[in-house]
Amino acid sequence: MIFLNKFTVLTILIVMLTACASIVGEVDPTKEISLEGTGKALVFADSDNTHVSALTRGKNNHDFITRLDGKGLHRLGGRADFPEALLVEPGRHNISVMYQYYQLTANADLWFDAQAEKSYIIRSKTSGMTIYFWIEDQATGQKVGGIQEKK
């Protein structure tokens, strides 16, 4: 019986560690990140936690990254179920995002072409019952990428 309990606990720990390890490149959105010399790009969601919004945000407005290039990013624990910032390789990426305001959510599938050592921000704006999503180059504010077409 004790062996079974230790085995069960070990199995649970391995599954949890594997789940955490699969979120490669997640970074803390509240910290300053230097991309110099990394060859990576940063993409992050405009939300309460990132404190970079040009738009007025309510206390519980959050944008999360739910998928990157077809890979689900759900995680256990933490402040949210999904990351708000990721380091990515340069090149074309498909990214799924979710806007959350208390219990209300909206989702979108976007694409963008990341360039090394540049930062991109996922923006959202509400208008009535509609949520608009887009990605901007953080330095210039120019919209990049677009809505992923459904196949």
Residue 43 confidence (pLDDT) above 70:
yes
Q: pLDDT per residue over 84-130, tens digit each?
A: 889 999 999 999 998 877 777 889 999 999 999 999 999 888 888 88
Query: What is the number of structural domains in the chain?
Result: 1
pLDDT band at 29 (very low <50, low <70, confident <90, very high): low
**Which pLDDT belongs to residue 13?**
40
* Best-predicted range by mean pLDDT (4-18, 28-42, 52-66, 68-82): 28-42
**Which pLDDT belongs to residue 21?**
34
The residue-averaged pLDDT of 62-85 equals 76
For 144, residues 6+ apart whose C-beta sits below 8 A from its C-beta are 112, 113, 120, 135, 136, 137
SS (H, E, C) the chain: CHHHHHHHHHHHHHHHHHHHHCCCCECCCCCCCCCCCCCCEEEEECCCCCCCCCCCCCCCEEEEEEEECCEECCCCCCCCCCCCEEEECCEEEEEEEEEEECCEEEEEEEEEEECCCCEEEEEEEEECCEEEEEEEECCCCCEECEECCCC
Q: Which residue has the tokens 């953080």?
A: 138
Q: pLDDT per residue over 107-116, tens digit each?
A: 999 999 999 9
81 is a domain residue: yes
**Which pLDDT belongs to residue 16?**
40
47 is a domain residue: yes
Domain extent at residue 33: 26-147
43 is a domain residue: yes
69 is a domain residue: yes
The residue-averaged pLDDT of 57-76 equals 75
87 is a domain residue: yes
Residue 9 confidence (pLDDT) above 80:
no
16 is a domain residue: no
20 is a domain residue: no
Residue 73 confidence (pLDDT) above 50:
yes
**Which pLDDT belongs to residue 75?**
66
